Structure 1
Amino acid sequence: MADIVIINPRFEPSYWGMDHLLPFMGKAANLPVACLPLLAALTPEEHTVTLIDENAEEIDFERCAKADLVAMTGMSVQRFRMKEILGELKERGCFVAIGGPWITVQEDYFDDEPADVIFIGEAEETWPQFLKEWKQGLHQYRYEQADKTDMSKVPTPRFDMLDMKKYAFGSIQFSRGCPFQCEFCDIIVTFGRRPRIKTNAQVIAELEAIRKTGLRIAFVVDDNLIGNKKAIKEVLREVIVWQRQNGYPLSLFTEASIDLADDAELMDLMVEANFIATFIGIESPSEDSLRETKKFQNVRSGGTLLEKVHRIQNAGMEVWCGMIMGFDSDDAGIFDRQVEFIQQSRISFSMSGMLSAIPKTPLHARLEAEGRLDPADRSEFGTNVIPLKMSREELLEGYFEVLNRLYEPQAYFDRTDALFLDPNFDYGITSKKRWWKISRRWFLSEMQCAVEGLGLFARLMKNVPEAELRQEYRKRFKRFIKVHRRPGLVLFYVFHMAMHYHTWKMAKAMSSRSQQLVNSF
């Protein structure tokens, strides 16, 4: 039997980290990374496992030093902290295993102070294999599965091993993989282009596990939920049945490609399953940029990008998006075009960033061959890509300009209210059914959301130091409650206020260089 500690390092302040928002909600982190509770579920019962998410609690290095094995995961944005943790663990004589997205694309990154074991790619097969070999004293240094994981065999994550009250949202997974070929994306490198999906029974078991934590909102972390439309429709039908039988205990949001707008049945099923929002990689309003990066799904027929965004919103889901600046065809005019598109699209949350080349992606290989990669691990320009039609200084300053213009209060609330102040606007199941007729559970949840929303608004009024922002928030809230009377919608609108404060503060801090520069906001 082994005593195992598994660590997820803290993230640097970022758009999705919600660092300036979470204190208002009384939460330590936005959501748990999917791998921690999954690795715990994959560990044979003969071993003991302790999960440490540094975003929710401090790492107890004394505890780690007593463990037989310390495992650590991490994404590209966590790599600097991963190095610091690895150094501390090795200094204490820990046996360390490293896996996750970053080491999968950059295997030699930790060679200066190497781990004892590394895992490349998925680990549903290799993690149990390693533990068996380690017990026998025969473990290897490098593990990589010969085949992609059979998702029908993935166990239900052990959410019970995390203090879920510390998180704002839950996280669950229906599928892996994406059928598209975007040049800059590492998803197809890690998970492949053939979408693999869990069985209906697995999905329902995972929903039940999240429901037991008491959380009411969960992020479906699939990189493209609709990669296999036929298969996901069958899953969604089962989710709808589960939601109805249980009084709709969960509101869901996810990531999907823009071709969702071309499938009315699929949008309808998602809304019936109570998906309230979806993140979409729009990337650019420039068709030349989209074709250049092989984002062909964004330039297909069936309407403009703007029309498709509005179609999804009108179906009953809010759209969040990812936008990128610095493609080869982008010149200095792209910054105005980005802002104009976001304003017209009625998208509150845009994770805007500069093009970055991740190792092992087609983009990285192409730019390396062209001699257009900055070798610095932490570039002063925020990206390792050297653009073609503008200087690096122009790209960085344009990036700051876009962030500040998007999250200037007037611009932010104008596009938010263009959606929210439509008297017919609502999302998820309440866009289809009267909220007081859905279920007793839902009725009580509406009341709870209203109380929480008013509490969050009060905390904003008390703790936001900028008087002009507090005044703007009061003005916008008064306009909102004159239009909408659904109690639960109060929390979502006030959340948009709190998210504005986070993004506004991030944009100001980065552009003034009072905070560490992060790309993709």
Structure 2
Amino acid sequence: MSRIAIINPAFEVSYWGLEYSQPLFGKKANMPVASLPLLAALTPPEHEVVLFDENVETLDFEELETFDIVALTGMSVQRFRMDSIVSELKDRGCFVVIGGPWVTVEEDYFGDRADVIFIGEAEDTWPRFLKEWQDDEHQHRYEQTEKTEMATVPTPRHDLLKNKHYLVGSLQISRGCPFQCEFCDIIVTFGRRPRIKQASQVTAELDSLLGQGMHIVFIVDDNLIGNKAAIKPVLREVAAWQQKHGYPIVFSTEASLDLCEDDELMELMAEANIQSVFIGLESPDEESLKETKKYQNVRSRGGTMLDKVHRIQDFGLEVWCGLIVGFDNDTSAIFATQQKFLKDSRIAHAMVGLLHAIPKTPLHARLLEEGRLDLADEHHFGTNVIPKGMTRDELLQGYLETMRNAYEPDVYFDRLDQLFVRDRFEFRALNTDYFQQHPWQRRKQFAIFTAGFVAMFIRLMWKIPDADLRRTYRRQIWGAVRKRFTSPDIYFFYVLKCAMHYHHHRMTTEMIDDPSKFVSSYGKAMRSDQPAAEKASCHPVPELQPAGNVGVVASPGLPVVEVGSSS
């Protein structure tokens, strides 16, 4: 028997990480990357596996020395921490294995310090490596010749995670996306044919998550609805599982904008208790969308992009989004355009990102040929893209101003109130036929929301150090309670959004006050921290490539995304 350590390195402060809000929730991190428990499940039982997530615990290198194999996974935004961990492990004589999104697109990044690297998915190659390693016949590089059939993926070992430290659990149902966005690495890694688990696999994993006390779960698929016909029967089974267990889990996920075209699909998502959906909107400029081949956002069916967002919201699914600045068609006018679009869309949570060219994507190849890539490992303007319609400094400063504007309290709460207070948004999940026919279940849910609201309000008033923000939150929350008094679900979510605003506002303020910190931190990896550039986002590929997420979600329905959204 061999002892195997699998490590997820620490993330730097990020938009979806909600690091500044975690004390309000009593947690250390939003969500575990899906690769850790999946790799553990793929490991033959004769081996001992221990999972380490540096986001919730400090690495003990003396302990790591005692393992036969030390494996790391990680995304581009983790690569500098990965590099330092690898150096420390090699100095101690450890056998080091590296996989995940970053090494998949930059195979030579760690040089000869990696004893073994894994490219792409690893359901087949990870067990094969372990057998060859035992026989002293292992290779240096492993890459599957075929994409993993999701029907063969085992239930991840959620029991091996330190679940008490996470706010949200992670679940993967499918991989792959049918679209062809130029900047996205998802289709490079997973392909354009969506592959979906069987419904029985999904419900078995829900049993596992519930057994670990997870009641908020992010479905990390890069586009849950990539194959609409195939996902519908799975959603029906998830809805049946929810009804059988009394709706114990709240979901959020990622999907493409064409969700608005399918009422049946939206209803099934609601019945499964999916309450929020992240959508890669990227830009209100149609020429920029066509440039990046995001054709699903510009087709005329369903009206304008704003019409489509409103349709999804009016149905009863909250929309989160990613926006990108820095396309070739963008001039300095794009920043005001993005700000107006964000206001009109009524979207509270939008991660604006700088376009970033990820290795192996069509965007990277095109810009490399055009001589418009900053090839340094650290990018002093927050991205490796040299823009066409403005200077690099204009792009960075416009980006920072757009983020500042988005999370100024009065601007943020104007968007939030427009949707939740003035337009009286209702979560469809709590108004499906099941809840209409089981009013006691609806009352139970409302009691939970009321208790949660009281607890979170007290935490906000107790733990947020900024007195001006506390006053703002207090005024806004009581205004929402007065106007939506019969809807405890609404003011529960409202108080959560105040907690999330605290993180976004503080993070943005720090970026504005010290851009050099932003450049040295975010710019290092700047897949842009959100669907703005790269999307090694929520995909748990068995990050050896089972998977990763950049960030994490914070409330029922927070998508966690890194960058390069395909949805």
Give the TM-score normalised by the residue count of structure 2. 0.89
Q: Give, as a single letter, the amino acid of the residue that structure 2 aligns with 1:246.
A: H
Deviations 1:16-66 (A, max 9, x none): 111111111010110010100000000000000000011111112111100
**Is 302-311 or 511-520 further displaced after alignment?**
511-520
CA distance in 2, matches of 1:422, 1:235: 35
Q: Any residues of structure 2 matched to 1:496-515 within 5 Å, and which?
A: 496-513=497-514, 515=517
- Is 1:489 the counterpart of 2:490 in the alignment? yes
- Is 1:98 the counterpart of 2:98 in the alignment? yes
2:420–2:490 contact (8 Å) kept in structure 1: no
Q: Give, as a single letter, the amino acid of the residue that structure 1 aligns with 2:454.
A: L
1:247–1:440 contact (8 Å) kept in structure 2: no
**Is 23-32 or 426-435 further displaced after alignment?**
426-435
1:455 aligns to what? Answer: 455
CA distance in 2, matches of 1:269, 1:90: 50
CA distance in 1, matches of 2:83, 2:465: 36
**Is 507-516 or 354-363 further displaced after alignment?**
507-516
The secondary structure found in structure 2 opposite 1:66 is: coil
CA distance in 1, matches of 2:510, 2:271: 40
Seen in structure 2, the aligned counterparts of structure 1 residues 422 and 437 have a Cα distance that, compared at 3 Å, is farther
1:183 aligns to what? Answer: 182
1:167 aligns to what? Answer: 166
CA distance in 1, matches of 2:435, 2:143: 49
Seen in structure 2, the aligned counterparts of structure 1 residues 437 and 422 have a Cα distance that, compared at 3 Å, is farther
**Is 221-230 or 262-271 further displaced after alignment?**
262-271
Which consecutive unaligned segments of at least 5 residues does structure 2 have? Answer: 530-567
Q: Any residues of structure 2 matched to 1:38-437 within 5 Å, and which?
A: 38-111=38-111, 114-302=113-301, 303-422=303-422, 424-432=424-432
Deviation at 1:452, TM superposition (A): 2.7
Q: Give, as a single letter, the amino acid of the residue that structure 2 aligns with 1:94.
A: C
Q: Give, as a single letter, the amino acid of the residue that structure 2 aligns with 1:247.
A: G
Deviation at 1:459, TM superposition (A): 1.9
Deviation at 1:91, TM superposition (A): 0.9
2:464 aligns to what? Answer: 464
The secondary structure found in structure 2 opposite 1:15 is: coil
Q: Give, as a single letter, the amino acid of the residue that structure 2 aligns with 1:282.
A: L
**Is 510-519 or 297-306 further displaced after alignment?**
510-519
Deviation at 1:462, TM superposition (A): 2.2
CA distance in 2, matches of 1:412, 1:232: 34
Which consecutive unaligned segments of at least 5 residues does structure 1 have? Answer: none
CA distance in 1, matches of 2:431, 2:497: 19
Deviation at 1:470, TM superposition (A): 1.2
- RMSD over aligned CA atoms reads 1.5
1:251–1:428 contact (8 Å) kept in structure 2: no
Pick 1 or 2: higher relative contact order, CA cutoff 8 A, min separation 6. Answer: 2
Q: Give, as a single letter, the amino acid of the residue that structure 1 aligns with 2:26.
A: G
State the aligned residue count. Answer: 520
Q: Give, as a single letter, the amino acid of the residue that structure 2 aligns with 1:333.
A: A
2:382–2:518 contact (8 Å) kept in structure 1: no
1:324–1:355 contact (8 Å) kept in structure 2: yes
- Is 1:479 the counterpart of 2:479 in the alignment? yes
1:273–1:428 contact (8 Å) kept in structure 2: no
Q: Give, as a single letter, the amino acid of the residue that structure 2 aligns with 1:450.
A: T
CA distance in 1, matches of 2:414, 2:139: 57
Seen in structure 2, the aligned counterparts of structure 1 residues 464 and 433 have a Cα distance that, compared at 3 Å, is farther
1:184–1:362 contact (8 Å) kept in structure 2: yes
Deviation at 1:448, TM superposition (A): 3.4
Deviations 1:389-444 (A, max 9, x none): 10000000000000000000011010011111147422142133696964766644
CA distance in 1, matches of 2:61, 2:518: 26
Q: Give, as a single letter, the amino acid of the residue that structure 1 aligns with 2:127.
A: P
CA distance in 2, matches of 1:232, 1:494: 32
CA distance in 1, matches of 2:306, 2:471: 32
